[in-house]
Amino acid sequence: MQEPEQPQLVAVGLGPGDPELVTVKGRRAIERADVIFAPRSRDDETSRALHIAWPWIDPARQQIVVLTIPMQRDPVRAHAAYRLIAETIGARLSEQTEGRAAVAARGVYLLLGDPLLYGTFSALQAVLVARYPQIAVTIVPGVTSFAAAAARAGLPLSVGDERVAILPAPADPGVLRELLARFETVVLLKLGRALPQMIAVLDELALLEAAVYAEYLGMPEERIVRTVGSLRDYQAPYLSLLIVRREE
């Protein structure tokens, strides 16, 4: 394999949580890396991404950098956080490259799911490329949580020319009503406190039996529920989703 002439960062989508769902290309990128960047949302928690990728990491050879990226709704604060992370990545890859003879450092940035679907990497990539144009950024796609959930439940997401809507759970329940009138399948991600409201809409439309709930897919805490009505008072975690498939 040809050695890189400039520092490289590969964003690896690890899928929903099951290490066996990590792609061969993703595993190879992890194994070949000099630096492993693993995000977490708080300082007091472990990195789920690092745990998933651990089978292909060699701590004796590879440098592991855990990055705390707090969830920010304020775009100004979010940009500031991404700038700090980009500076850390740029500095570590530059350190690894210095002193080498025509061999640049390889880094991987680990992410749950797919790097380009409702994640932080798109925003981080924009900041990183602007600040460190000498770093070549590539992306390895990952299995999405809703694809894994549909497979586990044996539920087709779409057949023929059926339409599918995928979005984070809306704060306004009316949005779900509108979507269910236009799409055969609706996938709601990141349910959290919105789950009871979404269930109320499904009950109103007589679609409770058309829904499947899933959380922590591929992880020890995995849970898949077909009796969605039993979750009316349940506060869903961040890593959760709802698939609603209405059939004519």
What residue has token string 């745990």? Answer: 51
User: What is the value of pTM for the model shown?
Assistant: 0.90
Tell me, yes or no, whether 105 lies in a domain.
yes
Angle at 68 between CA 65 and CA 70, to 5 degrees: 160
Tell me, yes or no, whether 214 lies in a domain.
yes
Task: Write out pLDDT tens, residues 93-146.
Answer: 987 766 554 467 999 999 999 999 998 899 999 999 999 999 999 999 999 999
Question: Do both 20 and 58 map to the same domain?
Answer: yes
Task: Write out pLDDT tens, residues 192-237.
Answer: 999 999 999 999 999 999 999 999 999 999 999 999 999 999 989 9
Angle at 70 between CA 105 and CA 174, to 5 degrees: 125
For residue 24, what are the domain limits? 8-140
In the prediction, which pLDDT does 211 show? 98
Question: Do both 86 and 117 map to the same domain?
Answer: yes
Question: Do both 223 and 201 map to the same domain?
Answer: yes
Question: Do both 173 and 116 map to the same domain?
Answer: no
Number of domains in the chain: 2
- Report whether 154 contacts 27 (CB < 8 A): no
CATH number, domain at 115?
3.40.1010.10
- Report whether 149 contacts 170 (CB < 8 A): no
